[in-house]
Amino acid sequence: MVAALPSTKWSLKEVWKSPTNLGFSSFAVAGGKAYTLVTGESDGNTGEMLTCLDEKTGKQLWSKPLSIIPKYTGGGDSGTPDNKGGDGSRSTPVINGGKVYVIDSMLGVFCFDAATGKKVWSHDVMKENAGVQIKWENAASPVIDGDVLLLAGGGAGQALIGLNKNTGKVVWKAEDDKMTHATPVLADIQGVHQAIFFTQTGLVAVDPQKGSVIWRAPFPYKVSTAASPVVFEDIVYCSAGYGVGAGAFKISKAGGKLEATQIWRRENQCFNHWSTPVVKDGYLYGMFSFKEYGAGPLACVDIRTGEDKWAEKGFGPGQVILAGDKIIATSDKGEIVVAEASPEKYKEVARK
């Protein structure tokens, strides 16, 4: 979510354009700089790179190597002829306290100085936590709560991990479940602060500072789960492709503990294939389709009931963010669309 947009007539003007190699990483922006992950070469080795660009000009300021990646195991669907995502970086950097944090495809965790690009620390989950890689490699981004960086991907007893964001040392480790491609989310539900992971057995909410489990909700897994859970009040929504579909759980207090109760389920429907929808006033806005490249709709769904409100075709598995009362969506073909965040009907404001 970004700050509210100006209430003026919209026009989308290209300010700068910077070519990148294959991949699916988005941008993190702060302090006049934009950070993203790309594939590249360093000292003759192919791997992923953290790249820093000038926010106003797009000029590359610096680039730092991450893990060496001889070959990806696929999963980079090219989509429409205009979508050349292909195999490459999958996750997005996070900026916190003047540092940039990254989890690359090989489960390498890195911390860099945001201004200079100097490496502060690194942590190899595969080596140090008996990491268990999944098909198409890691796509989850870091999540930071206080001084703890949250991630998944370790082996038995350490599938979920909390690292000290200042040193990279393990603060806690827990659980045996395998990770998915989904990034965990932070939420305050029923007065309890928690981190919600989407694992291969379903949703697992933990204390982000200690790793102790707060509640669980089983949910199917097939092939890949990429979209993160979405929280609205005491409701947690989740979705996946490959025939899984979507569902929502109500989190309530029972005997001093929290428990999850499924309130609706749409099997083999309501897919969020890659990107995570946003929520405003109880309505989800996002890309609801599975492998409908260039054709899948941007749609609105009631998070409380699972009811479809509207759908506008021609987007495919793009991305969407919320900015005040507007949604900004990118289509599979690279189009940028601004629309009203309203459940009444699809109302486009601008397109580029």
Tens of pLDDT along 300-328?
999 999 999 999 999 988 899 999 999 99
277 is a domain residue: no
CB-CB contact of 341 with 280 (8 Å): yes
Q: What is the pLDDT of residue 36?
A: 96
Q: Which of 57-71, 275-289, 290-304 reaches the highest mean pLDDT?
A: 275-289
> For 115, what's the count of Cα atoms within 13 Å in the CB-facing half-sphere?
2
193 is a domain residue: no
How far is 60 from 51, CA to CA, in rounded Å?
7
297 is a domain residue: no
What is the CB neighbour count within 10 angstroms for residue 133? 16
What share of the chain has pLDDT > 70, as a percent?
93
Q: Which domain CATH number covers 113?
A: 2.40.128.630
Tens of pLDDT along 16-54?
988 877 778 899 999 999 999 998 887 877 889 999 999
DSSP H helices in 49-169:
125-128
How far is 141 from 50, CA to CA, in rounded Å?
13
CA distances in angstroms from 76 to 23, 62, 135, 247, listed in the order given? 8, 26, 11, 26
Tallying the residues shown for the chain, one arrives at 352
User: What contacts 222, CB < 8 A, 6 or more positions away?
Assistant: 240, 242, 243, 244
pLDDT band at 113 (very low <50, low <70, confident <90, very high): very high
Q: What is the pLDDT of residue 75?
A: 58
Q: Is the pLDDT of residue 9 over 90?
A: no
In this prediction, residues 256-264 reach a mean pLDDT of: 97
Q: Is the pLDDT of residue 195 over 90?
A: yes
CB-CB contact of 289 with 271 (8 Å): yes
Q: What is the pLDDT of residue 170?
A: 98
pLDDT band at 80 (very low <50, low <70, confident <90, very high): low
pLDDT band at 157 (very low <50, low <70, confident <90, very high): very high
Q: What is the pLDDT of residue 313?
A: 95
322 is a domain residue: no
pLDDT band at 79 (very low <50, low <70, confident <90, very high): low
pLDDT band at 3 (very low <50, low <70, confident <90, very high): low
Report the run of H or E that residue 40 belongs to, with start and end: strand 33-42
How far is 231 from 233, CA to CA, in rounded Å?
6
Q: Which among 4, 82, 80, 11 has a CA at the least distance from the CA of 351?
A: 11
User: What contacts 201, CB < 8 A, 6 or more positions away?
Assistant: 177, 216, 218, 219, 221
184 is a domain residue: no
Q: Which among 140, 259, 141, 150 has a CA at the least distance from the CA of 208?
A: 150
SS (H, E, C) 117-151: CCEEEEEEHHHHCCCCCCCCCCCCCCEEECCEEEE
CB-CB contact of 99 with 52 (8 Å): no
The SS3 call for residue 342 is coil
In which order are the strands placed within the sheet that holds 185-189? 185-189, 192-199, 202-206, 213-218
227 is a domain residue: no
236 is a domain residue: no
What's the domain count of the chain? 1
> Which range of residues forms the domain containing residue 135?
14-175
> At residue 62, what is the residue type?
W
User: What contacts 103, CB < 8 A, 6 or more positions away?
Assistant: 91, 109, 110, 138, 140, 141, 142, 151
CB-CB contact of 117 with 52 (8 Å): yes
3-state helix, strand, coil in the chain (%, to 5): 0, 45, 50
Tens of pLDDT along 329-343?
998 888 999 999 999
97 is a domain residue: yes
Which residues face 232 on adjacent strands? 235
